[in-house]
Amino acid sequence: MYLWTLLTFTALAECAHSCPDLCSCSLQEVMCSQSALTHFPVDGLPSNTILLSIQSTNLSSITASHLSAVPLLNNLQLYHNNLKTLPSDLLKNVPHLNKLDLTGNQLVHLPSNVFSHDSLCSLVLKNNRIEKADADWLSGNSSITWLDLSGNRLTVVPAALLQKLPSLEDLDLSDNNLQDLQPDALKNLHHLERLNLAGNNLSSLKPTIFTHNLKLSQLFLQDNQLQELPGTLLQGLQHLELLLLNRNQLQHSPPGLLDDRKSSFRIILSGNPWVCDEKMEYLWKWLAVHPQNVIFLEEVTCAWPQALKHRQVDSLTDSELELHKIQNQ
């Protein structure tokens, strides 16, 4: 027993003192961030590594064989390298891998089953060149709770992909080219808490798109082309804390949209071409009662009519909105 313990400590000591060229090592973490690095740093890589970060290098390929050198790996960060593709069996030799971050590579097409990995909970594919998200990337009932596909070239996100993610809590689809969401795209995401759809080309949302996402607390819809919203869009979202609608093409808010919001609810409405006529009555009254819920309230201003242009909406009078005409009819 003593001999076995001694050999184990000796092995760990050797691991602790070994480190690949162009990398730095401490405890069970290895960091490689030299542009001169062009190949996976297998030589000298401690076998007890838990976190491996390779960033801002010229690494262009990685294989399952490479990762077999670190069987205890929990967190793999491959930021801003030169990866163009991944093998379908990439993760087969790292059974404990929990987090995979591939931000800022050159990925376009990914093979089937590449992320079919039981322990994987966090998958970040931000700022690549992916044009199509494929349901075949995953096995059924994936354990992923955080999926980031932002900054790619997606025009659609298939419902079949999201239906394989029943544990998903955080979904980032911002800065793509989405023009619409499939009606049942979010249906299986009962644990979803944060949804980022900012920076796309969405012009409308279906009234029932969030019906099954009752835990939603943060919803980012800014920088789209939304022209109108269904009055029942937020119905049932009792946990909603933050809603960003700034920089869209909204002219009016439908009656009932913001009803029954909790006191901690916050919203941004600036950067829309609000039309300050009788149809503005609902939002005007809501702003008067809930000014503390609006971030940048002073920037919620009229774009039309010309006589009211740049006026702060909550400062208007009922006569300026011509409400007296409606009431007397």
Which pLDDT does position 68 carry in this prediction? Answer: 97
Would you put residue 287 in left (φ > 0), alpha (ψ -120 to 50) or beta?
Answer: alpha
Mean residue pLDDT across the chain: 93
pLDDT tens digits along 190-206: 999 999 999 999 999 99
Q: How confident is the model at residue 4 (pLDDT cuts 50, 70, 90)?
A: very low
Contact 160, 187 (CB under 8 A): no
Which residues 6+ apart lie within 8 Å of 117 measured at CB? 91, 97
Collapsing DSSP to helix, strand or coil, 123 comes out as: strand
Contact 195, 216 (CB under 8 A): yes
Which pLDDT does position 253 carry in this prediction? Answer: 97
Percent residues over pLDDT 90 in the chain: 90
Find the mean pLDDT for residues 199-214: 97
pLDDT tens digits along 134-193: 999 998 889 999 999 999 999 999 999 999 999 999 999 999 999 999 999 999 999 999
Q: Is the pLDDT of residue 3 over 60?
A: no
Q: Is the pLDDT of residue 5 over 60?
A: no
Token reading at 47: 């076998």
The fold adopted by the segment(s) 1-124 is: 3.80.10
Which pLDDT does position 18 carry in this prediction? Answer: 87
Q: Is the pLDDT of residue 288 over 60?
A: yes
pLDDT tens digits along 98-107: 999 999 999 9
Token reading at 5: 């313990």
Which pLDDT does position 11 carry in this prediction? Answer: 44
List beta partners, residue 148.
124, 172
Q: Which sequence spans correspond to the domains of the chain?
A: 1-124
Find the mean pLDDT for residues 288-296: 97
Which pLDDT does position 8 carry in this prediction? Answer: 42
Which pLDDT does position 139 carry in this prediction? Answer: 87
pLDDT tens digits along 84-101: 999 999 999 999 999 999
Find the mean pLDDT for residues 241-255: 98
pLDDT tens digits along 132-144: 999 999 988 899 9
Which pLDDT does position 141 carry in this prediction? Answer: 83
Percent residues over pLDDT 70 in the chain: 93
Token reading at 177: 């080219």
At residue 188, φ and ψ (nearest 5 deg) are -90, 0
Residue listed under structure tokens 């920037």: 299
